[in-house]
Amino acid sequence: MKGKHIVSVSVFFITMLTLAVSDSLRGILLPIYENSFSLGKEQSSALVGISYGGVLVFTILAGQLGKRLKAKKVLQIGLLIFISSLLLMTIAKSYIALILSIFFITGSAAFINIYLNITTPLVFALYQGILLNLLHFFYGLGVSLSQTGIGYFLSTNDNWRIIYLMLAIVSILILAIYHFIDVPTLEVEKGTKNHSIGWKEIIFSKTGSMLILLLGFYFIAEHGTMNYFVSYTNEILGMNFGKSTSLLSLFFVLITVGRLFGGYLMDKFNIISVLFLCSIFGSFLYIFGVVFTNKGALLISSSGLFFSIIYPGLILLIKEYFPKAIVYATSTIVSVATIFDIIFNFAFGHIVNLLTFNVAIYLFPFGIIMVSILLFRLKNSHRSEMVIEVT
């Protein structure tokens, strides 16, 4: 039985790695999209905003399907949509086709990601923190490897569509493997009253609103870095494309390394205290990195070590505070937090045009500073006040 579980977890890790490669393409290829489709800054930031609209729509869909279908079936549906949208990208010739492709690629990836975050820790219940951080270790590994590899590939080859075709082929193989593996059964599938709590009770509770704000500001910091760091270092700091992608790759390499040890820290110490300290150190490094421009770019990359466990830690907090509504609470909170991504990315191009990139880049460390402040408040709240029981 344990052998089957190990195979399942391994497939989940490979799936997460594949999703990471897909997500990293958005930031790496943004300057190339601008050239290929003749986009301005406002159009390119709108493109990123629309992609997070896909995250919002598909995360809500994941929560609804979780009420009706088994997790394995939901994952297979997500992979089918993901594969189809990757193939659409290989033939996209217009801005509209690009928008549709990005919308469905990013949305379906988030759809799959939600279920991987929920099901993976359930395989071995005693090691939930370690498993969740290992899952995100593979995400970081996928992002860092793809940024280095794709950066090198694009320096010698301008056919970026081949990358999407290769991703589609790998995803088809993963979908085939899912037919043969075991996926943990969630509580809703066992007939429990997992969804007797409503979305309003989640969103407007003290716990839900705090977690939404935490995730929302964290998304601004990490996703902003993923999507715009290459453009910033290339256009403003005058670095070549290879060096820009290498620095972004280092950011995610350190996220990957941090997640190797982060699960152990969260299993041994208070989760909120660990997350608070990481957010403090991460924000200091990021701010100094921005202030010192070219000389500080390496500090921004180094902040990835402290960013590493914040997202998986926040997902674990959702599980802890909503123990009887894990799937629905996770999808609801992540969905609403994604609105931060959408608004931020639609606004970012305008902010760059209005205040310049040199000023707009400070929004990323501002996001992680807000995470520190909110974690401090959460740290000083009584757990009994925060846990939401479902009747």
Eight-class DSSP state of 181: S
Q: Which ranges constitute the DSSP H helices of the chain?
A: 2-36, 41-65, 71-89, 95-123, 128-156, 161-178, 199-203, 206-235, 241-268, 271-291, 293-302, 304-307, 310-321, 326-355, 357-360, 363-379, 383-386
Eight-class DSSP state of 308: T
Dig out the tokens for 250 from the structure: 């280092």
Average pLDDT score over the chain: 84
For 304-341, what is each residue's pLDDT tens digit? 999 988 988 898 888 888 877 777 788 789 888 988 88
d(CA 209, CA 202): 8
Q: How far is CA 355 from the centre of its chain?
A: 27
pLDDT at 84: 96
pTM above the 0.85 mark?
no
- The separation between the first and the last C-alpha atoms of the chain, rounded to the nearest angstrom, is 34
For 90-107, what is each residue's pLDDT tens digit? 998 888 999 999 999 999
d(CA 148, CA 28): 10
- In the CATH scheme, what architecture does the domain 2-386 have? Up-down Bundle (1.20)
Task: Name the nearest CA neighbour of 257 among 299, 312, 315, 309.
Answer: 309
d(CA 301, CA 308): 12
Most confident of 6-10, 299-303, 357-361: 299-303
